[in-house]
Amino acid sequence: MQAAPYTTRLQAGLGLLSESRALLALWQPGMTAGDLYRVALASGSFPNVSARRLRNIVAEGFAPRFLAPGAVSAGHLKRICATLPADELAQLMFLYTCRANPILADCVRELYWPARAEGARLLAREHVIGFIQRALDDGKTRVRWADGTVRRVAHYLLGCCADFGLLGKGSRVGREILPFAIAQRVAAYLAHELHVAGSGDEALVAHADWQLFGLDRRGTLEALQRLSLHNWFILQSAGEVTHIGWRCRTMEAFLDVLAEG
């Protein structure tokens, strides 16, 4: 299957952490993006945001991340939003933002984690620009972007990574690389979500989503082994064979347990 093209959609909003929490509180099952925009506009929850800006946040930021396909992720996050710590909720929002924006996911996998592994202090702006230019050469956008667009998208990528806690202070050169590790409950959420979505045990361990958190197959297995010690499931692994015995058979059952703390 051909990968989704890179877009400039992050210009509608970077991490959108506070905005997404507010929109999740307003969203109800069955609402479309248009419905949510109208409810949000009338709610008074965004007093300093223009109507046009709010429409862009909902249509280009929130909807691709949480309302497609079928608003499944919005339903999941709404159930646990009030009880999950802010940093763990931010990691889940990071996951869905990467899924909705392949350019961000690839930037994290191809630039951030290799830079971390090399002990780099900064993620350089020029390296991000080079990453985008290579993507243009490889035909990963529908049309070739102008140089000004490339620079703006590089800014969006660095800012979005900062919003989600991967990067820190910025300068003209780049942004400081910060420690970033998947939280245990976020790992449990991702494992259960992949399982419920139909991934077999081996495919689950090898899924590319773990790479967003710096985990290769070995690192993923170690994370799953730690989860099994806390009774999220039973893990058996020998060589290239992995079997997981699931205690929660549905995502709803898992979310109930997660919400209970």
How high is the mean pLDDT in each 10-residue block of the chain (261 residues)? Answer: 84 95 96 97 95 96 94 95 94 98 98 97 97 97 97 97 95 94 97 95 96 97 94 86 91 91 66
User: Would you call 245 helix, strand, or coil by DSSP?
Assistant: strand
The model's pTM? 0.95
Please give the DSSP secondary-structure letter assigned to residue 210. G
How much is the pLDDT for 174?
94
How much is the pLDDT for 197?
93
How much is the pLDDT for 249?
87
Share of the chain above pLDDT 90, in %: 90
Those residues whose C-beta lies under 8 Å from the C-beta of residue 242, and which sit 6 or more positions away, are 201, 202, 205, 221, 235, 236
How much is the pLDDT for 172?
87
Domain boundary assignment for the chain: 9-78, 102-177, 184-259
Nearest residue to 35 (alpha-carbon basis) of 46, 47, 43, 27: 27
Q: What is the dihedral of CA 204, 207, 211, 212, to 10 degrees?
A: -90
Name residue 48's amino acid: N
Tell me the C-alpha to C-alpha distance, in Å, between residue 159 and each of 142, 150, 152, 162, 209: 23, 14, 10, 5, 21
pLDDT in tens, 233-252: 999 987 778 899 999 989 99
